[in-house]
Amino acid sequence: MKTIAREAVELREKESRVNALAQEVQTLHKEMMAGWHGLGERIRAGETTGDEIQDLVLTRYICPDQKIEQRFRLLQEMIKAHQGQYIMVMQVKDDQICHRGPGQERPSDFVKKIELDIGVLSADSLIIDAPKAHFAFPTGGRHASCWHPHWENPVTLHDGDLYIDLFEDNGLKTSPTMQILIGDQAVTDWFEARSDRENYTAVFCKLNQIFGRSVEFPKLTAYLSEERAKVIDDFRSLNARQAWINAELRKLNREHKTSPKLSSELNGIPAKMSAIWERAKQLGLNVEDLVEPAMATG
């Protein structure tokens, strides 16, 4: 059996070894971080490891991160599987509606604002610019945006591929306030779940028009049918009104009379016709859909 004195000596020797190993680990860690930092600088200068996702993570975080790389690889797979289909990023943000100047802000000063950024995938992989630590979703150099879609806010078209800042200091954003939906099915499911609020359906209809697509879901099909019927009815009614006014003005002219009110109304009809026609085009209607039924009833 060892003496206490001998065991104490052995424990001190182990302590010395642990301290030496800890110092070695610290030294190796510094050397490793300096090495990764150097690789990042070389990537920024135009070199590559041969893996653009690894390059992107290195230039953003200095050292590799397998979890972040895996999320990007999953995005790559999803994009490849859904080229030519919709991609949408939905974010919920706090929008300040009351500014009190000096004084403490209150929760009631803010409302939740939904922002949508949408495009159509034009390639089968992310656009990655590792030297600039930048990436974007490939949407053919354009994308659309809309905020508070349950209000009557317009859909706006923008130049440039769809870019959303997914990076945070400790990794990628994973907040439930952000969703990335890839593919027609995922995007239409999101809109259909909210289609009881009419403007969501109108927003998706507008997206189809902007991007020249005809993706539908049951409630959108019903909405389009109702809107098309309304446009045709509006056209027929306005066309009939125009014919009646012309007939009345001809009758008055034979009697050497005039009607400034009817003349003014007639002058305003072309602008109304133009608005109806623009709406008809948005809904995928042709001239024949409007003119022939109206002429047949006339």
Where do the structural domains in the chain lie, given as residue ranges? 79-99+106-215, 220-297
Phi and psi torsions of 48, nearest 5°: -145, 155
pLDDT of 289 reads 73
**What separation, in Å, do the N-terminal and C-terminal C-alpha atoms of the chain show?**
118
Task: Tell me, rounded to whole angstroms, the distance of Cα 281 from its chain centroid.
Answer: 24
The residue whose two tokens read 């591929």 is 161
At a CB cut-off of 8 Å and minimum separation 6, what does 291 contact? Answer: none
**Least confident range of 133-137, 148-152, 189-193, 243-247:** 148-152
* Sign of the Cα pseudo-torsion (172, 173, 175, 180, in order): negative
Average pLDDT over residues 273-291: 79
What's the rounded Cα separation, in Å, for the pair 280 and 228?
7
pLDDT score of 298? 44
Higher pLDDT, 284 or 180: 180
Range 266-275 contact pairs with CB under 8 angstroms and sequence separation of 24 or more: 266/242, 269/238, 269/241, 269/242, 269/245, 272/238, 273/235, 273/238
Residues of the chain with pLDDT > 70: what percent?
85
As a three-state string, the secondary structure of 226-258 is: HHHHHHHHHHHHHHHHHHHHHHHHHHHHHCCCC
The pLDDT tens digits of the residues spanning 227-240 come to 888 888 898 899 88
Mean per-residue pLDDT over the chain, rounded: 84
Query: Bridge partners of 168?
Result: 171
Residues forming beta bridges with residue 172, ordered by sequence position: 167
pLDDT band for 94, please (50, 70, 90 cuts).
Answer: low
Q: Mapping DSSP to helix (H, G, I), strand (E, B) and coil, where does residue 159 land? A: strand
SS3 state of residue 129: strand
Cα separation, 57 vs 133, whole angstroms: 8
CA distance 231 to 238: 10
Residue 250's pLDDT is 92
CA 175/CA 151 separation, integer angstroms: 24
For 195-231, what is each residue's pLDDT tens digit? 776 688 888 888 998 998 888 877 777 777 888 888 8
How far, in Å, are 30, 59, 161, 244 from residue 179 at the CA level?
Answer: 37, 25, 18, 54
Find the helix or strand (DSSP H, E) in which 218 lies: helix 218-254
Partnered with residue 112 across adjacent β-strands are 94
Give the mean model confidence (pLDDT) for residues 125-154. Answer: 88
| Structure confidence at residue 152 as a pLDDT band (50, 70, 90) | low
* The pLDDT of residue 45: 93
Half-sphere exposure (CA, 13 Å, Cβ side) for 63? 8
Do the beta carbons of residue 115 and residue 90 sit within 8 Å? yes
Q: Retrieve residue 139's tokens.
A: 């949407």
**Mean local confidence (pLDDT), 268-278:** 89
pLDDT in tens, 241-252: 999 999 999 998
Mean pLDDT within 53-79: 89
